[in-house]
Structure 1
Amino acid sequence: MVKWEYATVPLLIHATKQILDQWGEDGWELVQVVPGPNDSNLVAYLKRPRD
């Protein structure tokens, strides 16, 4: 059975691709992006298998 670890990451609108690319390089998979606490930010939910 796969065990997962999760991360929540604030995304800056002007650097979204770079932020997600970096997390992807570290093995994280994007699950969902939702609006953050204010309208100018987004929050990404990511997961990856635990070792």
Structure 2
Amino acid sequence: MPAWEYLTTPLMIHNTAAILNSWGSDGWELVQVVPGPEGGLVAYLKRPVVKEA
């Protein structure tokens, strides 16, 4: 079974694609986008944990 690490980040409506593309280029996969507690959107992302040899 792979091990995962997780990240949450706010999304600005006018810059959503750039934010997600930036995280994606670092290996993060978008899992879900939900409304934030104070408005706006929050993205949940995951990526496999890289085990050091």
Does 2:29 match 1:9? no
Moved over 6 A (4+): none
TM-score for both structures, normalised by structure 1? 0.93
Q: CA RMSD in A?
A: 0.7
Structure 1 unpaired stretches of 5+ = none
Greater gyration radius = 2
Matched to 2:20, the amino acid is: L
Match for residue 41 of structure 2?
Answer: 42
Q: State the SS of the aligned residue for 2:45.
A: strand
Identity of aligned residues (%): 68
CA distance in 2, matches of 1:2, 1:50: 8
TM-score for both structures, normalised by structure 2? 0.89
Return the structure number with greater strand share: 1
Equivalent residues, number? 50
